[in-house]
């Protein structure tokens, strides 16, 4: 079997997969920083709410209840962001695995297309183009 698969070599497919994984890793890093900031906010808000409740001998007032509601909303956003980060991490790992397959002289363009279909890879990239997007015209202006 030749090293070329159509007009794209396995080496080019491996590089493409490594590039996609790197783009996803950059996104993961940015989102992880946002998540970290959000978790710090939650921690500070929780500490402030506890201090307010400890200082007050009365039942929680509407301001305290609003603060608790805001903390809960932030916790939900943090959980959602964490789930999204995990999705990106799984996709990046998939691209890394594909790159390793191509380095070992296995797989072809169809392998990439199947992976991108199964994972809906184009949905995870903004302006970047995926092989699937090019094949379907999905990422064209």
Q: Any idea where the domains of the chain sit in the sequence?
A: 10-136
> In this predicted structure, what is the pLDDT of residue 66?
85
Give pLDDT tens digits for 16-73.
Answer: 999 999 999 999 999 999 999 999 999 999 998 888 888 876 666 777 788 889 999 9
CA-CA-CA-CA torsion sign (11, 112, 126, 38) = negative
4 phi and psi angles, rounded to 5 deg: -95, 140
To which H or E segment does residue 33 belong? helix 10-55
pTM: 0.81
Where b means 16+ CB within 10 Å and e means fewer, 46-63 reads eeebeeeeeeeeeeeeee
Is residue 102 within 8 Å of 11, Cβ to Cβ?
A: yes
């Amino acid at each position: 079997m030749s090293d070329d698969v159509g007009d794209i070599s396995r080496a080019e497919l491996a590089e493409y997969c490594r590039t996609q994984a790197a783009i996803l890793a950059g996104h993961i890093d940015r989102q992880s920083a946002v998540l970290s900031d959000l978790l710090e906010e939650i921690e500070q808000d929780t500490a402030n709410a506890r201090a307010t409740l400890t200082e007050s001998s009365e039942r929680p007032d509407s301001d305290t209840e609003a603060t608790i509601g805001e903390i809960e909303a932030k916790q939900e956003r943090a959980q959602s962001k964490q789930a999204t980060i995990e999705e990106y991490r799984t996709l990046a790992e998939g691209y890394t695995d594909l790159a390793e397959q191509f380095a070992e002289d296995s797989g072809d363009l169809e392998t990439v297309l199947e992976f991108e279909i199964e994972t809906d890879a184009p949905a995870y990239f903004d302006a970047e183009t995926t092989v699937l997007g090019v094949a379907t015209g999905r990422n064209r202006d």
